[in-house]
């Protein structure tokens, strides 16, 4: 997300967080789903009769001082703080309070963003980080364990790779990850040698311990964020670089101040060399194959920094293939991922530091489904689950570190995490991600059918969709594959590809039968045009023949076009849409989520389109800057009077853009009813933000720093639809085994006897896996893997643990394996993946091997 720039951690900490229990195919999950869930302590009849949101009003207030959080909750002035709190002092204070509680999230990571421009910058200074080998050297220079344990107070774990240590891909690639982590472990001697080599290559020289270039000291400008632990990280790095012979200028900046430099300016201008960045994933990413393309290539974002990235041709091609999931089978995918990880560390445009553990604070009588990755602010389910435990309805005050950071519009508006949290409550997407597995569940879909080419590695878990395999998937000639911006019409597959077109996937989405009976917040009824116009707008913004053309949109659009093969509306009553694409994901649920269109209010979009066509407004900041017009905001600022004028003009004319294409998707009189409803809405509330979610935007106060949401009484879902919640079943691990093992000898104290002769030749290690103090069911465990490392950190053996029944697993190392380790310290590391949560859990045990003999040493 912009502004936090944040990914996450597989922290081996046990968090008491809420979890959605969904009826999966797996028996254990179905059993858990039928357990009594802790619901509101109110009359069940009143809850069952209530529709829509569980609260009547939510007030969002700006609050930047985390030191005040506990006191504000205890005083009753605030009930929830959605920002991630990483201060151990504040977290402990919250845990000690009887009036407060916390939800933990694992979706935040910190890194160093390096300026790749140069080596000579526009101001004539040298940028050492233009050279990949110097960027790579920072991996050895930095002690990540020190950063995690000292600078983050233990609320973080070291991270070396562009993969979150808490998400499934890290566990899947554990062997590769471990080898690379060892290769790039803290080694200041190696770091200095690499820096020296690179600096001499750039023509610099070291004089009396200080680097000079063309007779001047080499000065590095460090852009250091001030709001959190990154200030200490920046100071730590500045000291390291100074010790390496560089002059260091520390530029302390807030989020908004920093973003004007690292993300908004040309990196070649030389305003900065290094930025203390951070990223947050608001959902659990079950597949991180596109991380390489996003973080290391110009395809990631349209901003100048990304356009300055120059990956090697090999890395660029591999990243692009992974983003399209262009692989034959799972084995090839894993090989590609392993190669990409290695190339990413050599490129080192980003140097990853830690995955953080963040806490969001709430009053003790408040409950909410917080996402295990993104916390409350990232949770898709927070609008459907936030409530008091002792009453139904009421008013709640939520503190945020920032809001209204950028203009709000649904096309290219604010991407700040806390703006997006608020707007999420006003929207109603067709699918919602499970906050604990990352799998998607239907919200406005009854079912979906996913067809994939034979051999394509796709599987599904949930029962609302099915997957079929087909030898050939032909795209129908009538499907839309392109758009003619000059004539304002769709281009079909039959026109564009008379020879025929095939795709790797076909998704057929069946929407709810009452979709077009539901209402937008302004009282108008949804229609097919709410799905068709957003599709047109996407193509218009990428066409140079359109007045809506926006170069900043091209990178995203071209990535989409590389795999898009067409779509068509199969029926209207009920709505059924088919989408064809060459892009896949390992989970079919993610394929549907990426393909199924969600409605947007076409009449609101039309005002923005009219404003941009007339040169008064622009959807994106990039185009607004280039055209010197206002960046479109539907909620505040100078856009509002312009939109009001455009609305009156639209009401006065019978013609609108794209009349030919949209005509058949509008019901009789819909155009007039829509604009009349929007005019009444603007008159009542003073803004143009119209959604269809459980909350409507009641008022916006930019100067005071507050936003008010109120329950949308027209939201037809039962209020308790998403309340199947309990404690997240994160596996809790205890690994026990011998501390000293003599090859060929008895397992010794702490080992589990193997019996007979085997008992005298093997070492056994027992793993206890529990949840909430109870044994973790064997059927709920996906797999338990172990990695055995010798004293030099080399992988000696890998394998699967064997089950001893619910909650108990064993690893048995035979005499030959032990003998091969030699004498010294060794490490046994276990990774447990559950079917109930996507976060892998880890445990490790260090033991020593000593020479054995035929005598019993006891």
Q: Return the H-helix or E-strand segment holding 176.
A: helix 174-183
Q: How far apart are CA 358 and CA 229, in angstroms?
A: 12
pLDDT, residue 41, reads 54
User: By the 8 A CB rule, do 196 and 141 touch?
Assistant: no
pLDDT, residue 31, reads 33
Tokens of 195: 């820096």
Q: How far apart are CA 543 and CA 535, in angstroms?
A: 13
Selection from 160, 138, 156 nearest residue 146 by Cα: 156
User: By the 8 A CB rule, do 635 and 408 touch?
Assistant: yes
Q: How far apart are CA 631 and CA 639, in angstroms?
A: 8
Q: How far apart are CA 539 and CA 537, in angstroms?
A: 5
Does 510 have pLDDT greater than 90?
Answer: yes
The residue behind tokens 């093992």 is: 741
pLDDT, residue 7, reads 26
On the CB side of 500, how many CA atoms lie within 13 Å of its CA?
A: 4
Best-predicted range by mean pLDDT (100-114, 179-193, 451-465, 726-740): 179-193
The three-class DSSP label of residue 850 is strand
Q: Would you report the helix, strand and coil content of the chain in percent, each value rounded to 5?
A: 30, 25, 40
Residues 634-653: what's their mean pLDDT? Answer: 95
* Residue 417, CA distances (Å) to 242, 281, 773 in order: 34, 10, 35
Selection from 622, 619, 672 nearest residue 647 by Cα: 672
Does 86 have pLDDT greater than 90?
Answer: no
Does 763 have pLDDT greater than 60?
Answer: yes
Does 211 have pLDDT greater than 70?
Answer: yes
pLDDT, residue 193, reads 96
On the CB side of 131, how many CA atoms lie within 13 Å of its CA?
A: 20
Q: How far apart are CA 168 and CA 161, in angstroms?
A: 14
> pLDDT band at residue 827, thresholds of 50, 70 and 90?
very high
Residues 197-217: what's their mean pLDDT? Answer: 94
Residues 510-527: what's their mean pLDDT? Answer: 96
- Three-state helix/strand/coil letters over 226-274: CCCCHHHHHHHHHHHHHHCCCEEEEEEECHHHHHHHHCCCCHHHCCCCE
* Residue 366, CA distances (Å) to 42, 213, 463, 485 in order: 13, 59, 31, 51
Residues 130-141: what's their mean pLDDT? Answer: 97
Cα end-to-end distance, the chain, whole Å: 60
pLDDT, residue 425, reads 96
DSSP string, 664-726: GGSPTTHHHHHHHHHHHHHHHHSS-----SSEEEEEEETTTTEEEEEE-TT--SBTTTT--EE
Q: Strand runs (DSSP E) across 525-629, as ranges?
A: 564-571, 576-581, 617-618
Report the percentage of the chain scoring pLDDT > 70. 91
pLDDT, residue 744, reads 52
pLDDT, residue 365, reads 93
Does 493 have pLDDT greater than 80?
Answer: yes
145-154, 532-541, 737-746, 807-816, range with the lowest pLDDT = 737-746
Selection from 422, 296, 434, 291 nearest residue 373 by Cα: 434
Best-predicted range by mean pLDDT (152-156, 331-335, 770-774): 331-335
> pLDDT band at residue 174, thresholds of 50, 70 and 90?
confident
pLDDT, residue 252, reads 94
The residue behind tokens 């040169």 is: 615
Does 739 have pLDDT greater than 70?
Answer: yes
Selection from 248, 237, 111, 136 nearest residue 190 by Cα: 136
The three-class DSSP label of residue 275 is strand
Q: Return the H-helix or E-strand segment holding 293.
A: helix 291-296
* Residue 639, CA distances (Å) to 106, 684, 695 in order: 38, 17, 23
Q: Return the H-helix or E-strand segment holding 36.
A: none
Does 630 have pLDDT greater than 80?
Answer: yes
- Domains parsed from the chain with CATH numbers: 18-104+360-433 (no CATH), 108-355 (3.10.105.10), 443-690 (no CATH), 729-850 (2.60.40.1930)
pLDDT, residue 762, reads 85
Cβ neighbors of 705 (< 8 A, separation 6 or more) are 61, 62, 403, 404
855 or 59, greater pLDDT: 59
Residues 594-614: what's their mean pLDDT? Answer: 96
User: By the 8 A CB rule, do 485 and 545 touch?
Assistant: yes
Tokens of 301: 């974002």
> Average model confidence (pLDDT) for the chain?
87
Tokens of 453: 């080419």
117 or 85, greater pLDDT: 117
> pLDDT band at residue 289, thresholds of 50, 70 and 90?
very high
Selection from 519, 513, 362, 518 nearest residue 446 by Cα: 513
Residues 615-636: what's their mean pLDDT? Answer: 92
> pLDDT band at residue 794, thresholds of 50, 70 and 90?
confident
pLDDT, residue 24, reads 29
Tokens of 723: 């309340």
Question: How many helices and strands (H and E) does the chain possess?
Answer: 29, 39
Does 106 have pLDDT greater than 50?
Answer: yes
- Give the CA angle between residues 584, 586, 592 to the nearest 5°: 60
108-117, 297-306, 379-388, 477-486, range with the lowest pLDDT = 297-306
pLDDT, residue 14, reads 23
Report the percentage of the chain scoring pLDDT > 90. 64
| Bridge partners for 432 per DSSP | 441
> pLDDT band at residue 415, thresholds of 50, 70 and 90?
confident
User: By the 8 A CB rule, do 715 and 696 touch?
Assistant: no
**Residue 443 burial by Cβ neighbours in a 10 Å radius (0-12, 13-18, 19+):** middle
Q: Strand runs (DSSP E) across 75-162, as ranges?
A: 80-85, 100-114, 156-158
The residue behind tokens 């890998």 is: 798
For the entire predicted model, the pTM comes to 0.81
Q: How far apart are CA 367 and CA 374, in angstroms?
A: 16
Residue 45 neighbours by CB distance under 10 Å: 8
Residues 438-465: what's their mean pLDDT? Answer: 93
How, if at all, do strands 219-225 and 274-280 pair?
Answer: parallel
- Give the CA angle between residues 141, 144, 150 to the nearest 5°: 120
> pLDDT band at residue 858, thresholds of 50, 70 and 90?
very low
11-26 burial, b at 16+ Cβ within 10 Å, e below that, comes to bbebbebbbbbbebee
pLDDT, residue 12, reads 25
529-568 burial, b at 16+ Cβ within 10 Å, e below that, comes to bbbbbbebbbbbbbbeebebbbebbebbbebeeebbbbbb
């Amino acid at each position: 997300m912009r502004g936090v720039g944040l990914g996450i951690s597989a922290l081996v900490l046990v968090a008491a967080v809420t979890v959605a229990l969904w009826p999966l195919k797996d028996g254990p999950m179905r059993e858990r789903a039928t357990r009594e869930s802790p619901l509101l302590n109110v009359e069940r009849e009143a809850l069952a009769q209530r529709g829509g949101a569980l609260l009547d009003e939510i007030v969002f207030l700006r609050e930047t001082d985390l030191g005040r959080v506990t006191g504000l909750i205890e005083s009753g002035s605030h009930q929830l703080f959605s920002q991630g709190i990483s201060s151990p002092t504040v977290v402990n204070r919250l845990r000690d309070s009887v009036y407060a509680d916390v939800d933990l999230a694992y979706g935040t990571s910190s890194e160093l963003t390096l300026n790749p421009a140069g080596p000579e910058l526009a101001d004539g200074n040298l940028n050492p980080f233009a050279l990949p080998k110097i960027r790579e050297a920072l991996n050895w220079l930095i002690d990540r364990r020190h950063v995690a344990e000292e600078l983050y107070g233990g609320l973080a774990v070291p991270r070396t790779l562009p993969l979150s240590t808490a998400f499934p891909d890290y566990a899947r690639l554990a062997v590769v990850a471990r080898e690379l982590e060892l290769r790039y472990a803290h080694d200041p001697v190696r770091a200095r040698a690499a820096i020296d080599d690179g600096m001499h290559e750039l023509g610099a020289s070291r004089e009396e311990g200080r680097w000079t270039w063309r007779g001047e000291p080499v000065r590095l400008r460090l852009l250091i964020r001030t709001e959190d632990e990154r200030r200490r990280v920046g100071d730590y790095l500045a000291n390291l670089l100074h010790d390496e012979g560089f002059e260091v200028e520390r530029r302390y900046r807030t989020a908004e101040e920093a973003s004007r430099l690292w993300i908004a300016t040309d990196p070649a201008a030389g305003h900065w060399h290094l930025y203390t960045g951070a990223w947050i994933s608001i959902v659990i990413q079950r597949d991180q194959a596109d991380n390489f393309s996003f973080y290391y290539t110009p395809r990631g974002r349209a901003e100048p920094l990304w356009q300055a990235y120059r990956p090697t041709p090999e890395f660029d091609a591999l990243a692009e293939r992974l983003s399209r999931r262009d692989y034959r089978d799972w084995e090839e995918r894993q090989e590609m991922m392993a190669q990409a990880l290695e190339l990413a560390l050599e490129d080192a445009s980003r140097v990853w530091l830690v995955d953080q553990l963040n806490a969001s604070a709430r009053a003790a009588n408040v409950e909410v489904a917080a996402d295990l990755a993104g916390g409350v602010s990232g949770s898709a389910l927070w609008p459907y689950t936030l409530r008091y435990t002792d009453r139904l309805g009421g008013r709640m005050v939520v503190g945020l570190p920032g809001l209204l950071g950028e203009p709000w519009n649904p096309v290219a508006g604010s991407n700040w995490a806390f703006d997006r949290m608020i707007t999420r409550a006003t929207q109603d997407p067709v699918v919602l991600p499970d906050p604990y597995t990352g799998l998607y569940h239907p919200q406005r879909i009854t079912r979906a059918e996913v067809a994939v080419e034979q051999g394509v590695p796709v599987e599904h878990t949930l029962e609302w969709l099915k997957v079929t395999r087909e030898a050939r998937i032909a795209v129908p000639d009538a499907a839309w594959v392109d758009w003619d911006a000059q004539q304002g019409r769709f281009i079909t597959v039959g026109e564009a590809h008379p020879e025929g077109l095939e795709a790797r996937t076909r998704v057929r989405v069946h929407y709810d039968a009452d979709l077009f009976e539901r209402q937008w917040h302004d009282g108008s009824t949804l229609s097919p045009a709410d799905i068709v116009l957003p599709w047109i707008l996407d193509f218009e913004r990428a066409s140079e023949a359109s007045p809506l053309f926006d170069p900043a949109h091209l990178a995203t659009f071209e990535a989409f076009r590389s795999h898009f093969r067409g779509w068509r509306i199969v029926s209207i009553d009920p709505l059924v849409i088919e989408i064809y694409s060459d892009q896949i994901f390992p989970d079919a649920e993610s394929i549907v989520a990426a393909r199924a269109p969600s409605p947007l209010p076409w009449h609101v979009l039309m005002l923005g389109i009219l404003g941009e066509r007339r040169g008064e407004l622009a959807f994106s900041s990039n185009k607004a800057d280039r055209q010197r017009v206002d960046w479109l905001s539907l909620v505040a600022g100078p856009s509002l009077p312009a939109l009001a004028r455009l609305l009156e003009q639209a009401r006065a004319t019978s013609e609108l853009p794209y009349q030919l294409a949209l005509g058949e998707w509008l019901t009789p009189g819909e155009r007039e009813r829509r604009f009349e409803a929007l005019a009444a809405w603007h008159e009542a509330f003073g803004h143009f933000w119209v959604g269809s979610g459980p909350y409507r935007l009641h008022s916006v106060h930019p100067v005071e720093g507050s936003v008010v949401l109120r329950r949308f009484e027209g939201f037809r879902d039962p209020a308790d639809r998403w309340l199947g919640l309990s404690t997240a079943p994160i596996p809790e691990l205890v690994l026990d085994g011998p501390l000293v093992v003599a090859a060929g000898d008895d397992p010794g104290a702490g080992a589990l006897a193997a019996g007979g002769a085997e008992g005298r030749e093997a070492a056994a290690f027992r793993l206890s896996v529990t949840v909430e103090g109870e044994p973790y069911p064997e059927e709920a465990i996906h797999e338990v893997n172990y990695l055995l490392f010798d004293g030099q950190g080399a992988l000696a053996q890998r394998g699967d643990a064997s089950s001893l029944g619910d909650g108990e697993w064993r690893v048995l190392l035979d005499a030959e394996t032990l003998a091969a380790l030699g004498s010294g310290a060794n490490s046994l590391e276990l990774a447990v993946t559950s079917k109930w949560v996507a976060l892998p859990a880890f445990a490790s045990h260090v033991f020593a091997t000593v020479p054995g003999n035929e005598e019993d040493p006891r």
